[in-house]
Amino acid sequence: METKFMDFNLKEILKNVTPEKKIAIRGKFSNGSKDTNESEDTLVVLERKLEESKFSGDLSLLKKKFFTNPISAEKVFNNDCLEKYHLSLDGESDFTTMTVRNPASRKHIEQFKEPKFFLIEETPELYEEVTLPVIKKKPKKHKKWIYDILEGKAEVDRVIFNDNDEKTGFVLIKDSDWLDDDKENLNLLAIARNDLKSIRELNGTHLPLLKNIKEAGSKAIKEKYGIPAENLRICFHYLPSSYHLHVHFAHFTADNTERVVDRIHLLARVINNIELMPDYYQKATLTIRHCKDKTYKPYQDYLKKKKAT
- Dihedral in degrees, nearest 10, Cα atoms 140, 141, 146, 152: 110
Kind plus residue range of the DSSP H or E element containing 59: helix 59-66
CB of 297 closer than 8 Å to CB of 128? no
- Which residue in the list 108, 246, 248, 290 is annotated as catalytic? 246
**d(Cα 235, Cα 253) in Å, to the nearest integer?**
14
The answer to whether residue 246 is catalytic is yes
Q: Three-state SS for 48? A: coil
CB of 93 closer than 8 Å to CB of 266? no
Percent of residues in the chain assigned helix, strand, coil, to nearest 5: 35, 30, 35
CB of 179 closer than 8 Å to CB of 77? yes
The DSSP call for residue 259 is T
CB of 188 closer than 8 Å to CB of 172? yes
CA-based nearest residue to 192, from 228, 176, 216:
216
CA-based nearest residue to 125, from 14, 282, 245, 17:
282
Instruction: Give pairs for 224-228: CB < 8 Å, separation 24+.
Output: 224/160, 225/183, 225/186, 226/183, 227/183, 227/186, 227/251
Kind plus residue range of the DSSP H or E element containing 108: helix 106-110
DSSP β-bridge partners for residue 249 = 188, 234
Cite the active site residues: 246
